[in-house]
Amino acid sequence: ADDAVNYGAIGVVIGHEMTHGFDDQGRQYDKDGNLQDWWTKEDAEAFNKRADRLVAQFDAIEVNAEGLHANGRFTLGENIADQGGLRVSYTAMHNSFGGNEPEAIDGFTADQRFYLSYATIWAQTMRDEEVIRRTKTDEHSLGKNRVNITLRNIEEFHKAFCITDGAMYLPKEERIIIW
């Protein structure tokens, strides 16, 4: 695949794993791997304020017709890592371009291919029973939410597809960026 597609898939996964060191759990360990609070009180409060807003976004998602909602607190670390992975890989992709914008492929810009690739890696179909089981037991959000909720928070995504309204639009003041 071209660079944009690779950065949008494996690049995001690599960035996701790197970001776990600074999510709600990883941030509690120091540089030597010891459980130690090394953050300033102000930094921890700012992080928790943003994290609580991200939790609320995911808590609001109704995952089935019976009214079961996603659990944003349970999936917080993975949701933070998804967002961090996207942002790290997007930056790395643009750094790799060296100031030159690649040509469009099949009418899609590099940024659009990046985000489409990310969405593709989380495409899945499952029975209602599996949706319920995963929502209750898996610390990862459902693939649909890893894409739709996470991308709605990212300004570059909105710019890539000129999103100004509709299901994927989220007003700037409601967007949450952890890292």
Q: Any idea which residues carry the catalytic annotation?
A: 17, 82
The b/e string for 56-87 (b: 16+ C-beta within 10 A; e otherwise) is ebbeebebeeeeeebbbebbbbbbbbbbbbbb
Tokens 């999103």, located at residue: 163
DSSP string, 65-80: TT--B--TTTTHHHHH
Question: Which backbone phi and psi does 94 adopt, to 5 degrees?
Answer: -65, -35
Cα angle 93-99-102, degrees, rounded to a multiple of 5: 65
Under DSSP, is residue 110 helix (H, G, I), strand (E, B) or coil? helix
178 contacts 83 by C-beta, under 8 angstroms: yes
Cα dihedral angle (117, 1, 105, 150), rounded to 10 degrees? 10
* Residue whose C-alpha is closest to residue 26's, from 78, 89, 72, 70: 78
